[in-house]
Chains A and B, each alone.
Chain A
Amino acid sequence: MKQLFLVLLCIGCVHMAIAEECELAVDVADSMNVNASNECEDKESGLNGVVRGWFKRDEASSSSTSSVQAITDRPRGSAKMSPPVKDAESLAQARYQLLSVIGQECVQGFRVTDELFLPVEDALTIRLRYECL
Chain B
Amino acid sequence: MKKALLPAAIAVFLPLSAMADVTVYGKANVSLQNADEGGDSKIELVSNASRIGIKGDEVISDGLKVIYQFEYQTEMDDGIGGNGQTFGQRNIFIGLQGKAGTIMGGHFDTPLKAAQEKVDLFNDLEGDLANIFNGETRASNIVQYVTPGSFGPFTATVAYITKENDDVDDGISASLGYNTSNVYLGVAMDQDVQAEGIDIVRAIGRVNLGPVQLGAMFESTDIDGVDDSDGFLVSALWSLSDAWALKAQYGDSDFKLAPAALDAESASVGIDYKLSKNAVIYGYYTAIENEGLAALDGEGNPIIANLRDDDYLGIGLDLKF
Contacts and interface: CB of A to CB of B under 8 A. Distances in A.
Interface of A: 5, 7-12, 14-16, 20, 24-27, 29-35, 37, 43, 46-48, 51-52, 55-56, 58-59, 78-81, 97, 100-101, 104, 107
Given A32-B109, A51-B22, A100 B209 contact: no
Nearest to A37: B149
Contacts of A27: 320
Task: From B51, B59, B61, B212, name the one whose CB has the most chain A CB atoms within 10 angstroms.
Answer: B59
A12 B208 contact: yes
Contact of A34 (B19, B61, B102): B102
Interface string B100-140: 00101000110000100100000000000000000000000
A34 B181 contact: no
B102 A35 contact: yes
Contacts of B71: 29
B308 interface: no
A26 B210 contact: no
Contacts, number: 108
A16 B26 contact: no
Main secondary structure of the interface of A (DSSP, over half): helix
A48 B20 contact: no
Given A25-B23, A35-B148, A97 B61 contact: yes
Interface in B148-189: 148-150, 155, 181-182
B182 A16 contact: yes
A34 B104 contact: yes
Interface string B12-32: 000011011111111100000
Closest 3 CB pairs of A and B: A11-B210, A35-B149, A25-B25
B220 to A, nearest CB: 22
B53 A34 contact: no
Given A15-B210, A24-B321, A26-B25, 9 more contacts: A8-B210, A11-B211, A15-B208, A34-B97, A34-B102, A35-B146, A51-B24, A79-B20, A100-B63
Contacts of A14: 210
A43 B23 contact: yes
Task: From A8, A10, A16, A29, name the one whose CB has the most chain B CB atoms within 10 angstroms.
Answer: A29
Contacts of B108: 32
B83 interface: no
B55 interface: yes
Task: From A5, A8, A9, name the one whose CB has the most chain B CB atoms within 10 angstroms.
Answer: A8
Contacts of B149: 35, 37, 104, 107
A31 B146 contact: no
Contacts of A107: 149-150
B67 interface: yes
Given A34-B97, A51-B22, A104-B99, A26 B321 contact: yes
Contacts of B67: 34
Contacts of A55: 16, 19-20, 22
B16 A58 contact: yes
Contacts of B155: 33, 35
